[in-house]
Amino acid sequence: MSIATVNLGRHRITRLIIGGNPFSGCSHQSRERDEEMLNYYTTDRIKQTLRECEAAGINTCLMRADAHILRVLREYRNEGGTIQWIAQQAGEQAFEGNLQRAVADGAIAYFVHGAVADQLYAEGKLGRITDMVACIKDAGIPAGVAGHALEVHRAVDQAGIAVDFHVVCFYNCGSIHAGRGNEFSTTDPPKAVNIIQEIQKPCIAYKVLGAGRVSAQEGLSYAFANIKPTDAVVVGMFTKDKPGMVEENVRLAERAISSTCDAP
């Protein structure tokens, strides 16, 4: 299988990226589902899923820069794994130290966590986001900003903050700014794609499947039909639910991407 790629700094990343929320027990569904993910995703199973991704053509993962993921990635690479890693800020850690650990462990890019950016925007502290982005770029890798609240992306873009990419949530869920918790409204994705189309910088769309509330076929088809050709999609995969999920998602993504190329 061969997935289309786009540029992220000096790297080429597949337009379908595997996300790490299931590996970290973040279901955005229920406490019971979180526990199920944590119990299933041992280190060996995470490594196996990453190997399946590489075999299916996915060359990039997006995961937290915390001690658990750093350890898993170290073992994976020591065993020959080559998947590229986009690091999400671990918001519970000091920013500068977390960034330094991610860079030292081979992150090809790093971005400000969505909840952190939401909070800073709500407090009128875009200057802090500017400083964080500059710090990432000074570390020598592309810098991004995530956000559940779409206003964050518009504000960052209009302020001219020198991000290299945006990580845009299809659903305004878990946003401190909006105070909505794990709410997934069907009115959110059209608003998200409007922002993605408005921003010229590359975007990585996340939660395009509504954390399991939308089928892979529907969610991937809609996402790739509406994001820019320079953009990518990140999807978490809980392989306990369906053996062969990785290969199926790759096929669906390839079909969706191909359909946008064929469109008049």
With contact defined as beta carbons under 8 Å apart, do 117 and 147 qualify? yes
pLDDT per position as a tens digit, 139-191: 999 999 999 889 999 999 999 999 999 999 998 775 544 444 567 888 889 99
Question: What's the pTM?
Answer: 0.94
The token duo for 37 is: 């993910």
Distance CA 4, CA 51 (A): 19
In the predicted model, what is the mean pLDDT of the chain? 93
Confidence of residue 79 (pLDDT cuts 50, 70, 90): very high
Distance CA 89, CA 20 (A): 12
The token duo for 139 is: 């570390």
With contact defined as beta carbons under 8 Å apart, do 15 and 232 qualify? yes
Give the pLDDT of residue 176.
Answer: 45
Q: Which residue intervals of the chain are DSSP H helices?
A: 31-40, 43-56, 67-78, 95-104, 114-122, 126-138, 150-158, 188-198, 216-226, 245-262
Burial class (CB in 10 A: 0-12, 13-18, 19+), 261: exposed
Question: What residue ranges define each of the domains in the chain, with the CATH number in brackets?
Answer: 5-262 (3.20.20.70)
The pLDDT of residue 232 is above 50: yes
The token duo for 64 is: 């937290």
Q: Which of 255, 42, 146 is nearest to 50 (CA)?
A: 42
Give the pLDDT of residue 179.
Answer: 43
pLDDT per position as a tens digit, 110-139: 999 999 999 999 999 999 999 999 999 999
Give the pLDDT of residue 217.
Answer: 95
Confidence of residue 236 (pLDDT cuts 50, 70, 90): very high
82 CB-near residues (< 8 Å, 6+ apart): 54, 59
